[in-house]
Structure 1
Amino acid sequence: MAALDFYSGTMDCGKSTLALQLDHNHRSRGRVGRVFTSHDRAGEATLSSRLGLSVDAIEVDEHFDFWQHVVGELTQGGRIDYLVCDEAQFYTRHQIDVLARIADELEIDVFCFGILTDFRTRLFEGSGRLVELADRVHTLQVEALCWCGERATHNARTEDGVMITEGEVIVVGDVEQTGLPAPTVGYEVLCRRHHRRRMTAASAKAAALSPDVLPFG
């Protein structure tokens, strides 16, 4: 029986790397698949990892019809054994429903990868529906770490290194890297405590250097 699997974790936990590895493993065993993504950091129609690996992919926007695409290829004599769907948090509820239908009715394995919550700590539409429908939900075992060294559980959006909690849900950016200038719009993974305090690595460093944080004058 085909299945709908959801692999989830915070940003910087290796989900896109795993998606690439899973696609490679299945192709190396003679299976034929299709790779989909949405709003990848590397640009349109590309599935990429921070390790520098990438493959061509089919771009999914809010109007993309998975059923029409897959059935269209099959009726033209194409073969599809599995789907790899990265950045699935950006898919609509209806698109996730269709992916479940593809697994059930067309007997095609569907592997979805995505983060659960946005920078406001709210469930993404696609991820929420996957939790409701997936045959299996896998939490990725490579844990991202907060700047304090604790397990990172939340995704924070930053502007010039300062955490923000308002704005458009989908804004493409990348995880900030130690030793490099903070991007205009970036993301940082934080533990819950420091996400609540809006304390990024940059703000923590600034606070440590400020005499205002000392308890005595």
Structure 2
Amino acid sequence: MAKLYFYYSAMNAGKSTILLQSAHNYQERGMAVMLFTAAIDDRYEIGQIASRIGINAEANLFTKESDLWSLIKDQHQTSPLSCILIDEAQFLTKEQVYALSDVVDTLKIPVLAFGIRTDFQGELFAGSKALLAWSDKLIELKTVCHCGSKAIMVIRVDEQGKPVKEGAQVEIGGNDRYLSVCRKHFKEAVR
């Protein structure tokens, strides 16, 4: 039975690596998959899901305006799909997550969404909030804080490495702008 899965974590937990491995597993068995990533994330090559360990794959881009239901349904009618994989799922809208649940419930295609749960201020992203509410299965991927504890939060830092406490929810960046930390170190950073 198809399900909607949400794999969530702080940054640097290997979300993209696991997504790419999952896609490879389907494709190696001759099954078609459809990959999506957020158009807003331009850290790597556009239209690519890339892992820091050096693997990547082409992906469809989504924006807040993308009609995921129609894109997936049309592709599925042309060539039956076995799985949908979404990277940077925190950037999905509530409506897009609802559409992905329709893909699962109506088209019977499993959807694996990978994303960050909270922003640098400890607030849920819209896509993550909807996925936490509507997913059939939640899977936490773990990474560690500099102290060795489990990192569950993300802090944004400036060019000097100092924590940033205010600003837009979305600012694309990697290890140069964000650090994964435990709750204790998150609270210390935002005080």
Q: In 2, distance between residues paired with 1:125 and 1:40?
A: 20
Report what 2:25 is aligned to: 25
What percentage of residue pairs aligned between the two structures are identical? 34
User: For 1:39-61, what per-residue CA distance to the aligned partner results, in whole angstroms no more than 9, with x for missing partners?
Assistant: 25314211011111111111111
Size of the alignment, in residue pairs? Answer: 187
List, as ranges, runs of 4+ consecutive aligned residues in structure 1 with deviation greater than 6 Å: none
Report what 1:57 is aligned to: 59
C-alpha displacement of 1:81? 1.5
Bigger RCO of structures 1 and 2 (CA < 8 A, at least 6 apart) = 2
C-alpha displacement of 1:145? 1.7
In structure 2, relative to structure 1, the CA distance for the partners of 1:96 and 1:168 (3 Å cut) is same
Q: In 2, distance between residues paired with 1:18 and 1:33?
A: 14
In structure 2, relative to structure 1, the CA distance for the partners of 1:116 and 1:132 (3 Å cut) is same
TM-score normalized with structure 1 length: 0.82
Report what 1:204 is aligned to: none
Report what 2:121 is aligned to: 120
Q: In 1, distance between residues paired with 2:80 and 2:173?
A: 35
1:70 and 2:72 are equivalent in the alignment: yes
Larger Rg: 1
Q: 1:45 aligns with which of 27, 44, 47?
A: 47
Contact 1:40-1:46 within 8 A present in 2 as well = no
Contact 1:116-1:124 within 8 A present in 2 as well = yes
Contact 2:26-2:82 within 8 A present in 1 as well = no
Partner-residue secondary structure (3-state), 1:156: strand
TM-score normalized with structure 2 length: 0.93
Partner-residue secondary structure (3-state), 1:103: helix
C-alpha displacement of 1:147? 1.7
The letter of the residue matching 1:151 is K
C-alpha displacement of 1:150? 2.0
Give the superposed CA RMSD: 1.4
Q: In 2, distance between residues paired with 1:158 and 1:5?
A: 30
Report what 2:35 is aligned to: 35
Report what 2:109 is aligned to: 108
1:188 and 2:179 are equivalent in the alignment: yes
Partner-residue secondary structure (3-state), 1:94: helix
In structure 2, relative to structure 1, the CA distance for the partners of 1:19 and 1:40 (3 Å cut) is farther
Partner-residue secondary structure (3-state), 1:64: coil
Q: In 1, distance between residues paired with 2:15 and 2:106?
A: 27
Q: In 2, distance between residues paired with 1:114 and 1:56?
A: 18
Q: Structure 1 stretches of 5 or more lacking a match? A: 176-182, 200-217
Contact 2:6-2:112 within 8 A present in 1 as well = yes
After TM superposition, the structure 1 stretch with the greater mean CA deviation from structure 2, 11-20 or 66-75, is 66-75
Report what 1:5 is aligned to: 5
C-alpha displacement of 1:87? 0.6
In structure 2, relative to structure 1, the CA distance for the partners of 1:34 and 1:65 (3 Å cut) is same
The letter of the residue matching 2:108 is E
1:89 and 2:100 are equivalent in the alignment: no
Contact 1:40-1:87 within 8 A present in 2 as well = no
